[in-house]
Amino acid sequence: MGALDQPQFEQIVGAGCTACGGRTLEIKSFIDRSLVLMLADPNNEGRWVHDGEKFVDGTYRITCTSCAHVVFASEVCPRCNAEGGLGKALGTPSRLAVPKRCPKCSELELLAVALVPATARYGGGETPKPKPLAEWGEDGYHVVAFACHECDNAVVAERCPLCEAPGPLRPRP
Ligand SMILES: [Zn+2]
Ligand SMILES: [Zn+2]
Ligand SMILES: [Zn+2]
């Protein structure tokens, strides 16, 4: 698991802010985004493909929206739990380069999955809608894998895609 497990997460979110009693918390997490690339350029901005468990698993910071009190913060890598990995994850660009064409069949359109830092608000009756904190090509936006729909060729990052620590990676929920 990541820095938090599901019961810990629910306890923190359920308790609200421990400083001012505010109910709305801002949660930052690395979550899965899928996008289609044409000649290595994104066709669109992509879409989230994480679920609730993955959102919890990637959580690295929780703050109060009223008083900015930090309710929870972790510096480990949100993907592999390496010490100090969060700074690397947020401060470096993607390492896995997506080629212009499928290396096997030369198809121009490839599907990529990335881990992207996002922020979402919990509490106050709002449905959490994550907003990306990094765009394609920026620091923090890390391609995890790409695949070809024509020939099923798939390439997955061998090291941790966020902080480059050697594998094997811990399983995700
Ligand atoms: Zn507060
Ligand atoms: Zn890592
Ligand atoms: Zn192919």
The predicted-structure confidence for 70-126, as pLDDT tens digits, reads as follows: 999 999 999 999 999 999 999 999 999 999 999 999 999 999 999 999 999 998 666
- Per-residue pLDDT at 126: 66
Distance between CA atoms of 29 and 100, rounded to whole angstroms?
Answer: 29
pLDDT band of 129, cuts 50, 70, 90: confident
The rounded Å distance from CA 71 to ligand 1 centre is 8
- Looking at the CA of 146, name the nearest ligand: 3
Residue 122 bridge partners (DSSP): 25
Residue reference for tokens 């930090």? 70
DSSP-derived secondary structure letter, 19: T
The total of other beta-carbon atoms located within 10 Å of residue 38's CB is 11
Cis peptide leading into 168, omega within 30 of 0? yes
The rounded Å distance from CA 18 to ligand 2 centre is 30
The rounded Å distance from CA 72 to ligand 1 centre is 12
Measured between alpha carbons, how far apart are the two ends of the chain, in Å?
A: 7
The rounded Å distance from CA 151 to ligand 3 centre is 4
The rounded Å distance from CA 69 to ligand 1 centre is 5
Distance between CA atoms of 147 and 62, rounded to whole angstroms?
Answer: 33
The rounded Å distance from CA 24 to ligand 2 centre is 29
pLDDT above 90: residue 1? no
The rounded Å distance from CA 79 to ligand 3 centre is 28
Contact 59, 9 (CB under 8 A): yes
pLDDT (mean) for 47-61 = 96
Residue 115 bridge partners (DSSP): 32, 142
Residue (of 73, 66, 67, 68) closest to 12 by Cα position: 73
